[in-house]
Amino acid sequence: MSINSQSRARLLEHMPFLNRADDRLRQSLFDKASIATLEKGQHVCHEGSDCTHLAIMLSGTVRVYKLGENGKEITLYRVALGESCILTASCILSHVPFPAFAICDTDVEAALIPASDVRRWLSESTVWQDYIFGLVATRLSNIIQVVEDVVFRRMDKRIADHLYNRMSHSGKTLLVTHQEIASELGTSREVVSRILKEFEQDAIIKVSRGTIDLLIPEKLDQKRRET
């Protein structure tokens, strides 16, 4: 599906840097881009895939994760509205396969930019350079934080932090399974269940099937900040 006037307006809304771009880049992007829609749970990329396009998110969220030989997953970051996947951009620029997996958290709509144009615009437009290198800076800090958490932070603090942060999006009742938390944090479901049971015994949360109620968020906040 090609870019129509409505999609152009949405790109300009969610990618403000296009308003600073010259007419040539803006028109070239509109001419070269296409619109793709994917369903929740559908994989966008598999490890080892060739990166033929850079996706710019117009709606929905994509989770980028690594899968270990033992079957454990760990989330590296999410790509949300107006964003692009920096691993995809890196693969396009370096001509290497995608080093992770990407899956739709929700139904997704995205504008797809051909890899050849992503590379060409980098040599032609400082505005496009700023956008791509800004992605690198943001995502690199996110991935460094993931590494620091895995190496240096206790799992109970990581789970407390995960639950507390989800509250800002979902309220005090979280619709989440133990396996989903394990996949986010790169641990086993058994470890998550044990720690959640400890939180429940301290009356911080209440665990039901597929649901976690945050009874005392303040204590959860204290636990995630413990030294």
**What confidence tens digit (pLDDT) does each residue in 150-178 have?**
889 999 999 999 999 988 777 899 999 99
Task: Please tell me which of 66-75, 110-119, 135-144 the model is most confident about, judged by mean pLDDT.
Answer: 110-119
Give the architecture-level CATH label for domain 153-225.
Orthogonal Bundle (1.10)
Tell me, what DSSP letter sits at residue 149? H
3-state secondary structure of 45: strand
pLDDT for position 129 = 92
- For residues 136-145, average pLDDT: 84
Contact indicator for 135, 79 with CB cutoff of 8 Å: no
Q: How far is CA 145 from the centre of its chain?
A: 14
Tell me, what DSSP letter sits at residue 2? B
- For residues 122-136, average pLDDT: 89
- For residues 66-73, average pLDDT: 87
Q: Which of 1-15, 150-164, 178-192, 210-224 has the lowest mean pLDDT?
A: 1-15
Place of tokens 């479901």: 189
Could you tell me the pLDDT band of residue 215, with boundaries at 50, 70 and 90? very high
- For residues 16-35, average pLDDT: 87
Orientation of helix 189-201 relative to helix 178-185, angle to 10°: 110
Question: pLDDT at residue 1 above 60?
Answer: no
Q: Which of 12-16, 80-84, 86-90, 98-102 has the lowest mean pLDDT?
A: 12-16
Question: Structural domain boundaries of the chain?
Answer: 5-151, 153-225
Residue percentage of the chain with pLDDT more than 70: 99
Contact indicator for 80, 61 with CB cutoff of 8 Å: yes
Element (H, E) at 181: helix 178-185
Average pLDDT, the chain: 90
Question: pLDDT at residue 2 above 70?
Answer: no
Name the token pair of 211: 């649901």
Q: Which CATH number fits domain 5-151: 2.30.30.240, 3.40.50.2300, 3.30.460.10, 2.60.120.10?
A: 2.60.120.10
Strand order, beta sheet including 43-45: 43-45, 101-104, 62-67, 73-79
Identical fold at 5-151 and 153-225?
no
